[in-house]
Amino acid sequence: MTGCTSKTRAKAQAEAAFRAGQQQALRQTEARRNAIAFTGPVLNPLVAWTEGMTLGQAIAAAVWKGKGDPRLIILTRGKEVITMTPDQVLETADEPVLPSDHVEMLP
């Protein structure tokens, strides 16, 4: 019979698929842990964090896709929430960002 798989082989394939899924989930978790997450109309919702990255660099890397400028930018770092207008962001563009920061950009 063609197409038949033994129970042992099917079990081994299922275990391999399970391990591959776990490894992928770990890689995704690690990528999120070392990234700045964005919500709102941006091209790149996850921007890889690098040492010395500033808020301005992170926002530029996210690539705003909304019409006009964003109305508000909300930076969340742990329990701290900072709400800014685009003008305020320009004033603080050199503010460093940290891995796991979240930036919400509202149209």
56 within 8 A of 94, measured Cβ to Cβ:
yes
Q: What count of other Cβ atoms lies within 10 Å of the Cβ of residue 49?
A: 19
Q: What is the 3-state secondary structure (H, E, C) of the chain?
A: CCCCCCHHHHHHHHHHHHHHHHHHHHHHHHHHHCEEEEECCECCCEEECCCCCEHHHHHHHHCECCCCCCCEEEEEECCEEEEECHHHHHHCCCCECCCCCEEEEEC
Domain coverage including residue 22? 1-33
* Domain count across the chain: 2
Q: Residue 93's pLDDT is what?
A: 80
Q: Residue 27's pLDDT is what?
A: 54
Give yes or no: residues 7 and 49 share one domain. Answer: no
pLDDT in tens, 78-91: 999 999 998 898 88
Give yes or no: residues 21 and 71 share one domain. Answer: no
Give yes or no: residues 100 and 80 share one domain. Answer: yes
Give yes or no: residues 26 and 39 share one domain. Answer: no
17 beta partners: none
- pTM comes to 0.68
pLDDT in tens, 7-54: 787 777 777 676 666 665 555 555 456 799 999 999 999 999 999 999
Q: Residue 91's pLDDT is what?
A: 87
Give yes or no: residues 50 and 72 share one domain. Answer: yes
Give yes or no: residues 42 and 78 share one domain. Answer: yes
Give yes or no: residues 45 and 14 share one domain. Answer: no
Give yes or no: residues 11 and 41 share one domain. Answer: no
Displacement of CA 88 from its chain's centroid (Å): 23
